[in-house]
Structure 1
């Protein structure tokens, strides 16, 4: 056996492709060669007669390459493609052959930013090599599936495929299934005809998925992506050698080859490239579609006699188990992106795996059917954290026993398949989230392990959040009118002066209800107590994602569908519609006109906007669809102008008031007039940002006592207001132990978590606190609870929070609160405590249990 491996050369700093192969080759020994693109380099192993010697050869040659690259500030990646490329800067290796290829094939040559692995197995007789190439063709899709490592394309986009390289590769005119030839003479005649046609320049451009080698007495497998893990190549080589051995024996015994039509063979290859091991593969004995793990094991067992004869059975069977357990490189790359939301993390993982620095898969003796082997509730970074599903002995808590047993019965490959299917549907339906500063929307990952909130817990939470939102609404109405709470010394006047969310626009609606739709973020501490972390009174998002999580989990993982005693989400959109209708001005028509106002598809939560509007049966409009006439707002559709009573504003106040209307005139003055004349309601009211202000947050328990005459049901996190000199000094003295946040920060931006922060970050925040203390608050470090989260190869503890939603509707006796029976659980990336999607966070289906 022998192997040819192609590698991407990337800059160690930017992680982008670097066209520096000539420079790198000058410092390497023989066996390292140039490829078409100058950002690619190839190695050729020696001849090995055992899998152990092949592994050692691969590891040694990789080590030499990686070390030589590091001296030049470069890194090496073995993968079908890398997601951080700059195609415009790519250069073709300046040989006559490659220059001609560029001239003849243009786009194909320019976009050849892909790498593959070729495996050679010795066959001395060339007639037999040609015949065997055709006979092994039906099994090649399985070998491709094992190797898939190119889910992302050069611009960083997720292609939706496990092997995008296959799609690029198959565009060349001489790729595809084995040549339709039975002897060397027939094969050579076919190649001569292809060269004579002028479509290819030489025999070296015959790129069949399996072929007799042009330079060695071997059968050459060419269908696989480059493989980050050496063990993947060893597994593919062991299986390919066994297949060749089996088919040689069958050929000599006169056994006819298995039939394979080109369309079916191409379909099977497409299926493998589409989903790798994370979906179904085509079982060509049917043909039928079957789970990948079943098809792979069927192949392995079919060549067991050949594997045992070569002494390879133990190695190949264990590597097969590990491959199915760990998943494809494509799946691991997507998991890396979900952890942080950064493509650089994907490249870093590929670099580590290529260099042999990645963690080894668990051995068979460590495998545990509960998927909780090695699960440590405190392994997320807290020395004494609280895990909601697993006790400190590592056993499932009673509420989770049945659920975790169902997850274990599915096992890792099936869970990855379901995760993969969910992600594909999210992309197809546009269930995405656009992070500020990023060019494209990304999937908001859904974890497969639902979170369970008991009926007693939810009763406590619901009581606490409705109390809190009623008090905050009273504060907003008061602070924009009489300011009694300030006069009575409960909230200091300077707190209003410092609050960036305290706006003159807040006075436009007087004493009317303001917090129609609120979101309250809660966390569970190490004692299992619920604490309020933040309030969201401007444009709280997330309820549509909670609904989508439930539906997608039910459709694609029915084994994990919510039981009957979980609160139904079917009426959530109807609740929102009724809340918006109830917000209509007093003199509105019986059937008020309600619209959802959005910035459009560029908005981070565009999916939620379109979904909620569709479910409520209302229109989504942009500011350019509106106009104001005689103190009344109108939306324009074709040539029709329709009067609007309620605007559900899903955009920032500053953006709304700085936009232009249907005719291009500024909207600001018209909106103000419509609000003052009480001909329009905006949900939520303008000026609500002061209720979100983190420097106002410490006073909420006092508000509850002042306005409601009640004690707080829910505790909140101890907070220091850095604008107060004595509190700032305390924060400076304990900076390494506290969480310091901007008072107007969103999405986790600007948060410094003392125990996790670098010395440089701590010192930078110290300078900011000394010069601009009013910009920050500090909070006590809370050991957020963790929850089992699937990461492609098992369950790991991730920090979680919970967003609960409260609606307020007006009545003759004051605002009436309605707690929505849907909550959004957000999941932090592994090893972090920040749950926002901007930091790579995801979400879970949240089961709110009924009485």
Structure 2
């Protein structure tokens, strides 16, 4: 039987929120005057109220008390025009909202700790479990230390600070850990040792009293209990009850182990701190550290289920097993509060929506829509369309309501219709000299308006920097003179072409640029690669929209859906603007393709037709009289190069050096070459690392879009790091394209990792390595069932100069879909594509 000592109690800290501004309101003294002091108290800041439950034997009694106390506070706050939020940090407030509660103790703390107090706009949940013997309580705190990070991960509710996403699930933890007594106590054998530690800390003057012993878990300073202090305030009462149930089972399990004399391993303080940091950083969306003697990363859900299995005897004794098990599975399915807050922000990009969510959850006013994902769909936190519980995310709700679960699954059965459509449309891609049907999925991807509006200026900035770099690198080379890049880095780059330096000054080097973007599991966007040589995909994106219009006309289109049909005209205007010595309206533009053997031959034909370009192959080009002419003998002013080879190396069927002849005309100004020779310098995988430096050097700006951390293996120090971590990184050959040669370390076999390590060591300059990014996924009806697959997004910028108004970001995107179980999206590697529904207005259609 369970000893009656293991009672339950909780203290909740709750923010007071002004509903008009969604910021904190310093009105706690007025509210506390209306509430009973035995259950409600002041905190350090006047924007916070603390509630104190009674002492209870069951989780049901604790739940009722928490709900009752919240209800009384919410009612009192409403009379004063305020709202209440049980959340780790207030999403929209900052230290400017801090107002100190008037007391001598708090005043002294502010004088002593300054910034720590001024930024203390955080709220936590403290759980007490009854344990009268303080010697046993001290031993228990040592034994349960390995499980505390899991409780933190479940509770994490503080991703936002000062109106920004911190990247952490619990930034409250990081703020809290700055206090001198936060964290672990270190090994202690008795209550006497604990009391001596406290006395020494107080005598040192670092803390003023025993209440400031802010250890992760401790014998309570005012009650015969063990007190948990690591968790964020939980908006949902369910999560608070779950944590209380798990904590009590931990204490009881540890007490029994103490009683029978089981030995235990003290967690070294650095490892405990690392485990707490890991939980604060990723919450439930990434790995947590195992409780092994040599901790290893394990998925959060696995770690939590293992913990519950270990605690099963105690949970059964308390009658809590079913309750805790159901609550844990519900939290793992829907995500912790940090996950839910980020999902709320993703709908409209409004932090006010996040505040509204946590206020509603605190009050218990949350309704849950029914599951919309297919029955076997493995929903995950990083899925763009479904929550981890299988509910539709807001941007997709109308779509899935129209489809229904059955309709979504029936998309798989429409594969023959889709394949027939792609063949009839000639929508193919080339692999090893063969033209294959382009795999198409009918479930569209939605890019919300606020995300697109944030991407556009970042893409325009990147395009301007790359165009400026190409002009400078093949011209005055200020980038070398100013010490940003070395001459060796420039001229030794595989994309460097000496003949490109011969083109006239001021020509637009890269009027068409493509950028590969990835969306992380937390909703942020990263630039994965730049494509400046011959970026393809526009025609495929246009064809995908046409496929949707013809094959799925009844699916509801969301308001603000951008129309990609405007892009061919934008491409034509951009190319005509490259002409020299002739008005753009009069410029004659040809798309020079190396023919049906080109992997993007479908695109060449479609773009030429829709953008009003003349499609020519090398056999159809004549050079004479200082001009480049087509089959009709008329000269071209601009050649849009869509070649699989460098222009200087291009020959026709008879071996005539067409490319060299065209280049000579371009050098003399007789024709403009759009995307010029040597542009590979700017999209070289090694040069990618330097793009932030290019933005700073040429534009005197900070990059607006982050990129994936990338290592140059040519650098000896970075080479050493890469060789040590090949199995953890994505490694790519600099000269590779189309996904060829890419090795994703965590998915590779030991033999593959060993071979790649040897390849890199033999020729370091040929390789780069990137950190693995936890890519978002999207439900995809290919391969026999609807499953989540990783996706990226290729977008395009059209460039006429280097000024702020010289870049237009095309209102379309090509979402590429990786094969099941892979993160490589290229069609040549088995990937496919789907229509991309970009939402926005006139403001988001250009830079």
Normalization by structure 1: what TM-score?
0.53
- Map 1:125-204 → 2, pairs under 5 A: 125-153=133-161, 155-178=162-185, 180-204=187-211
Partners in 2 of 1:506 and 1:326 — Cα distance?
Answer: 62
How far does residue 370 in structure 1 lie from its aligned partner after superposition? 5.6
**Is the counterpart of residue 333 in structure 1 residue 348 in structure 2?**
no
Partners in 2 of 1:247 and 1:288 — Cα distance?
Answer: 23
- Map 1:632-711 → 2, pairs under 5 A: none
Residue in 2 aligned with 1:587?
Answer: 668
2:586 to 493, 511, 522: 511
**Is the counterpart of residue 836 in structure 1 residue 844 in structure 2?**
no
**Is the counterpart of residue 279 in structure 1 residue 360 in structure 2?**
no
Contact kept in structure 2, 1:123 and 1:218, CA below 8 Å: yes
- Map 1:430-469 → 2, pairs under 5 A: 445=519
Residue in 1 aligned with 2:90?
Answer: 82
2:315 to 307, 311, 326: 307
1:257 to 259, 264, 270: 264
Cα shift readout 1:77-114 (whole Å, capped 9, x = no counterpart) = 11111221131231110100000000000011101111
How far does residue 258 in structure 1 lie from its aligned partner after superposition? 3.0
Normalization by structure 2: what TM-score?
0.54
Partners in 2 of 1:587 and 1:452 — Cα distance?
Answer: 31
Residue in 1 aligned with 2:814?
Answer: 823
Partners in 2 of 1:470 and 1:62 — Cα distance?
Answer: 58
How far does residue 355 in structure 1 lie from its aligned partner after superposition? 1.0
Contact kept in structure 1, 2:343 and 2:393, CA below 8 Å: no
Q: 1:474 to 1:259 in 2, by over 3 A?
A: closer
Partners in 2 of 1:259 and 1:104 — Cα distance?
Answer: 33
How far does residue 152 in structure 1 lie from its aligned partner after superposition? 1.2
Q: 1:51 to 1:217 in 2, by over 3 A?
A: same
3-state DSSP of counterpart to 1:176: coil
Contact kept in structure 1, 2:372 and 2:405, CA below 8 Å: no
How far does residue 75 in structure 1 lie from its aligned partner after superposition? 1.2
Contact kept in structure 2, 1:148 and 1:273, CA below 8 Å: yes
Q: 1:192 to 1:327 in 2, by over 3 A?
A: same
Partners in 1 of 2:158 and 2:645 — Cα distance?
Answer: 39
1:345 to 353, 371, 389: 353
Contact kept in structure 2, 1:133 and 1:178, CA below 8 Å: no
Q: 1:367 to 1:255 in 2, by over 3 A?
A: farther
Q: 1:141 to 1:324 in 2, by over 3 A?
A: same
Partners in 2 of 1:834 and 1:26 — Cα distance?
Answer: 52
Cα shift readout 1:55-90 (whole Å, capped 9, x = no counterpart) = 111111111111211222211111111221131231
1:226 to 233, 253, 264: 233
3-state DSSP of counterpart to 2:149: helix
- Map 1:611-650 → 2, pairs under 5 A: none
2:26 to 19, 23, 36: 19
Task: Kindly tell me the number of residue pairs found equivalent between the two proteins.
Answer: 540
Partners in 1 of 2:260 and 2:690 — Cα distance?
Answer: 70
Q: 1:190 to 1:469 in 2, by over 3 A?
A: closer
Q: Which runs of 5+ in 1 are unaligned?
A: 402-422, 437-442, 482-504, 518-531, 538-569, 597-608, 627-635, 637-649, 651-786, 810-818, 827-831, 842-851
Contact kept in structure 1, 2:10 and 2:127, CA below 8 Å: yes
How far does residue 39 in structure 1 lie from its aligned partner after superposition? 1.1
Residue in 2 aligned with 1:215?
Answer: 222
Cα shift readout 1:716-767 (whole Å, capped 9, x = no counterpart) = xxxxxxxxxxxxxxxxxxxxxxxxxxxxxxxxxxxxxxxxxxxxxxxxxxxx
Contact kept in structure 1, 2:576 and 2:589, CA below 8 Å: no
Q: 1:334 to 1:621 in 2, by over 3 A?
A: same
Cα shift readout 1:679-732 (whole Å, capped 9, x = no counterpart) = xxxxxxxxxxxxxxxxxxxxxxxxxxxxxxxxxxxxxxxxxxxxxxxxxxxxxx
How far does residue 476 in structure 1 lie from its aligned partner after superposition? 10
Partners in 2 of 1:33 and 1:328 — Cα distance?
Answer: 27
Q: 1:820 to 1:140 in 2, by over 3 A?
A: closer
2:9 to 2, 9, 12: 2
Residue in 2 aligned with 1:38?
Answer: 46
Residue in 1 aligned with 2:528?
Answer: none
Cα shift readout 1:402-422 (whole Å, capped 9, x = no counterpart) = xxxxxxxxxxxxxxxxxxxxx
Contact kept in structure 2, 1:21 and 1:38, CA below 8 Å: yes
Q: 1:350 to 1:585 in 2, by over 3 A?
A: farther
How far does residue 339 in structure 1 lie from its aligned partner after superposition? 1.4
Cα shift readout 1:250-279 (whole Å, capped 9, x = no counterpart) = 111122233311111111111111111111
Q: 1:374 to 1:593 in 2, by over 3 A?
A: closer
How far does residue 130 in structure 1 lie from its aligned partner after superposition? 1.7
Contact kept in structure 2, 1:432 and 1:444, CA below 8 Å: no
Contact kept in structure 2, 1:21 and 1:41, CA below 8 Å: yes
**Is the counterpart of residue 247 in structure 1 residue 251 in structure 2?**
no
Q: 1:821 to 1:223 in 2, by over 3 A?
A: closer
How far does residue 383 in structure 1 lie from its aligned partner after superposition? 9.4
**Is the counterpart of residue 397 in structure 1 residue 412 in structure 2?**
yes
3-state DSSP of counterpart to 2:199: helix
How far does residue 469 in structure 1 lie from its aligned partner after superposition? 6.5
How far does residue 345 in structure 1 lie from its aligned partner after superposition? 1.2
Contact kept in structure 1, 2:143 and 2:264, CA below 8 Å: yes
How far does residue 18 in structure 1 lie from its aligned partner after superposition? 1.4
- Map 1:460-539 → 2, pairs under 5 A: 508-512=583-587
**Superposition CA RMSD, Å:** 5.8
Partners in 2 of 1:181 and 1:511 — Cα distance?
Answer: 85
Q: 1:396 to 1:11 in 2, by over 3 A?
A: same
3-state DSSP of counterpart to 1:6: strand
Residue in 1 aligned with 2:117?
Answer: 109
Cα shift readout 1:262-299 (whole Å, capped 9, x = no counterpart) = 11111111111111111111102142111111111111
Structure 1 stretch 135-144 or stretch 508-517: which is displaced more? 508-517
Partners in 2 of 1:612 and 1:837 — Cα distance?
Answer: 34
Contact kept in structure 2, 1:144 and 1:272, CA below 8 Å: yes
Contact kept in structure 2, 1:151 and 1:158, CA below 8 Å: yes
How far does residue 612 in structure 1 lie from its aligned partner after superposition? 11
Contact kept in structure 1, 2:140 and 2:254, CA below 8 Å: yes
Partners in 2 of 1:120 and 1:72 — Cα distance?
Answer: 31
How far does residue 37 in structure 1 lie from its aligned partner after superposition? 1.0
Contact kept in structure 1, 2:541 and 2:812, CA below 8 Å: no
**Is the counterpart of residue 93 in structure 1 residue 108 in structure 2?**
no
Contact kept in structure 2, 1:238 and 1:312, CA below 8 Å: yes
How far does residue 182 in structure 1 lie from its aligned partner after superposition? 2.1
Q: 1:454 to 1:135 in 2, by over 3 A?
A: same
Q: Which runs of 5+ in 2 are unaligned?
A: 1-7, 380-385, 417-446, 460-516, 524-536, 551-562, 593-606, 613-641, 651-658, 706-777, 801-809, 818-835
Partners in 1 of 2:234 and 2:74 — Cα distance?
Answer: 15
Q: 1:56 to 1:625 in 2, by over 3 A?
A: closer
Contact kept in structure 2, 1:337 and 1:840, CA below 8 Å: no
3-state DSSP of counterpart to 1:18: coil
Partners in 2 of 1:218 and 1:838 — Cα distance?
Answer: 61
How far does residue 836 in structure 1 lie from its aligned partner after superposition? 3.3
How far does residue 217 in structure 1 lie from its aligned partner after superposition? 0.6
How far does residue 587 in structure 1 lie from its aligned partner after superposition? 3.0
Contact kept in structure 2, 1:595 and 1:621, CA below 8 Å: no
- Map 1:738-817 → 2, pairs under 5 A: 788=779
1:295 to 282, 289, 303: 303
